[in-house]
Amino acid sequence: MQNELEEHVTSLAQKCIQDVPVIVLGSGASAAHGLPGMGHLSDWLGRKVEVDGSDADETVAWKQFRDRIRTTDLETALTEIQMPASLTKRIVEATWDLIAPADQEVFARVVTNRNELPLSALFKHLLSGTRAEIDVVTPNYDRLAEYAADAVGLCHHTGFHHGHLRLRSVEQPIRSVQNNKPARTVNIWKVHGSLDWFSDPDDVVVGLPIMPSRLPGMAPVIVTPGYEK
């Protein structure tokens, strides 16, 4: 019976690989490489987000949040309490400030060790045949999927043009060509935003290179856990 079950699981796994499934990456995929989790983020927000009492709505919302977080998780607390836009902005900035340095540490490791991320081997295997594209869906802000694709010479597409100052490719996806054939590409659908996406003073969303800190006037385009989702 055990052997039959193992054979069935193996056969099912092989069929999934052959059909090239959509890959869904959750927070666990990032936590394994040192990216902060919800618990760490909760503690960080409590220490880094400051409310001076000058805005009554902020003061009330933040007190409610601090009280609620003592008895529940971060996402539940942020779902139950609707924050003023000004407070949400500071939460987003603090979230970026926590996760971005950890993301850059992963990138530094990938630069010196192209086998750092198991995703690289998975991407390479799934694109080893005739298929030119695979799709990844993730709520994570980090760029581990992008790094994993780069490490094995694959293109990646996140909905933006190429270059240092990347604008959204709203009309049609940007596709690379190699030897007159579509280049092997990992399409990464980042449903809650990304650490390298920012809104400029004119509310135009752009993609920027890896940076050690946020540029003045550029707001991170990430959706925090909770109500804003």
Which one is predicted more confidently, 74 or 197?
197
Cα dihedral 204, 226, 80, 93 sign: negative
Evaluate if residue 211 carries a pLDDT over 60. Answer: yes
Stated pTM of the model:
0.87
Domain membership of residue 46 (yes or no) is yes
pLDDT mean over 190-217: 94
Q: Angle at Cα 162 formed by Cα 149 and Cα 208, nearest 5°?
A: 90
Domain membership of residue 8 (yes or no) is no
Structure confidence by residue, pLDDT tens digits, 11-20: 776 666 566 6
User: What total of structural domains would you count in the chain?
Assistant: 1
What mean pLDDT value characterizes the chain?
89
In this prediction, residue 218 carries a pLDDT of 96
Weakest mean pLDDT among 32-41, 114-123, 172-181, 188-197: 172-181
Domain that residue 70 falls in: 22-222
Cα separation values, 215 from 96, 110, 198, 218, Å: 12, 25, 9, 6
Chain center to CA of 224 = 11
Domain membership of residue 65 (yes or no) is yes
Evaluate if residue 87 carries a pLDDT over 80. Answer: yes
pLDDT mean over 189-218: 94
Evaluate if residue 222 carries a pLDDT over 90. Answer: yes
Closest residue by Cα to residue 176 from 167, 187, 191: 187
Chain center to CA of 139 = 6
Domain membership of residue 69 (yes or no) is yes
Q: How confident is the model at residue 162 (pLDDT cuts 50, 70, 90)?
A: confident
In this prediction, residue 123 carries a pLDDT of 95
Domain membership of residue 5 (yes or no) is no
Evaluate if residue 227 carries a pLDDT over 60. Answer: no
The count of residues in the chain is 229
Cβ–Cβ under 8 Å, residues 154 and 127: yes
Cα dihedral 59, 65, 68, 71 sign: negative
What is the C-alpha separation between 43 and 55, in angstroms, rounded? 23
